[in-house]
Structure 1
Amino acid sequence: MKHTNYVAYYRVSTSKQGQTGLGMQAQQQAITDFLHHHGGKLVAEFTEVGSGKKADRPEFEKAVDYAHLANAVLLVAKLDRLSRDLHFITELQKKGIRFKLADFPDIDQLTIHILAAMAQHEAQMISQRTKAALRAARTRGVTLGNPQLDTYRNHNPQLATLARTTAQREWRQKIIKVIHHIQQLQPQITSVGIAKTLNQRGLSSYRNKPFTGSIVSRLLRQQ
């Protein structure tokens, strides 16, 4: 049975807490207990020092990017380590960012749904009304959509190339952040060692192949 990969995100409010470990021990213990009871593999850990109200949270962004690349779930000790701001929490859901709370594993499915219920209900009603209108239009014989769309897609290779290169660039930016994180933890690590670490953590190249030292070296040259 395949285990779920998790990326742990810890946040302490002050630099003193970050230096002394105050607050960190409880968070780490909550993560450990969660994995013990629910299973799964911890593939990376990120620690933020700063207020949850701050918009600039680089370690959180790294954790999200890593989780996306590793097809992993973001794991935090409790909800306020992410944020107490409902807008921030619901934005995670809108972006499709999967997360679990160690102290309340179902909160991302239960509490967020309750808090966002009215907004979601309204969105569903709009969607239903739109679909009903489209069905009625088709019944009347109205041609929907852009009739030139297929032609445009099939005869615009430049657009397809642009989309592909954009996706590759975004992937490269994310994986470089992960590589830098590994280098910070192990300053003397080689490209081969980085490749091995990436593979062990469930990551793969842009073409879904295992990483090699040459791939890592090329990525570092291109950054």
Structure 2
Amino acid sequence: MATGRFVSYLRVSTDKQGRSGLGLEAQREAVAAFLNGGAWTLQAEYVETESGKRSDRPDLAKALAHCRLTGATLVVAKLDRLARNQAFLMSVYEGSGEGGVVFCDLPNVPAGPVGKFLVQQMAAVAELEAGLISARTKAALQAAKARGKVLGRKPGTPGYLPDAEAGAAAVKAKADSFAAVVAPIAQQLRDEGQSLRQIADALAARGIRTARGGAWTATAVKNVLARQQAAA
């Protein structure tokens, strides 16, 4: 149950999305659902139309200044609406003041030092995963080229690599990279005697989602462990 003062920050990537409200209403609904009940005040809402890759965000700066002045907590609908870059994410935490930052898609992560630490670890994992995916995708495409496939050719030309094959290579690279990050955590829990179902619950409790952003199941845990063992 939410209590206290809050300032919401919403972000869309394009002017078209901002004018149409595409994405904004969903974010507002997520904030409203997160704050539902309790004794709280939404002091202000700041909306940014900017790419998530850019760090120069004037409306975010205004939202942070508002939080520092009033002691309010910055509330964001989704972690990826704020940033995927660990360094930028931590700079936002440092600039938010005493109220800290909360994310509606991570309701079990509190504001304050503990929440900051947990989000920092998740951001580090996400950044590592992104780097591994990029490296594995490049390796997969280079391997395809070594087999005589040429990217970007038109159908029917020598060495043409169908989109399906290129897409499959990218999907496999992403799955392998995700398993490389999550499997060691799952294996440690497995070594401690936990069942696949218990491991699934433990991963969910830590705020870790599946590669597709879904809920963990015993089968999903088994597949991650199997993929990592196959790659070993």
Q: TM-score with structure 2 length normalisation?
A: 0.46
Greater relative contact order (Cα < 8 A, sep 6+): 1
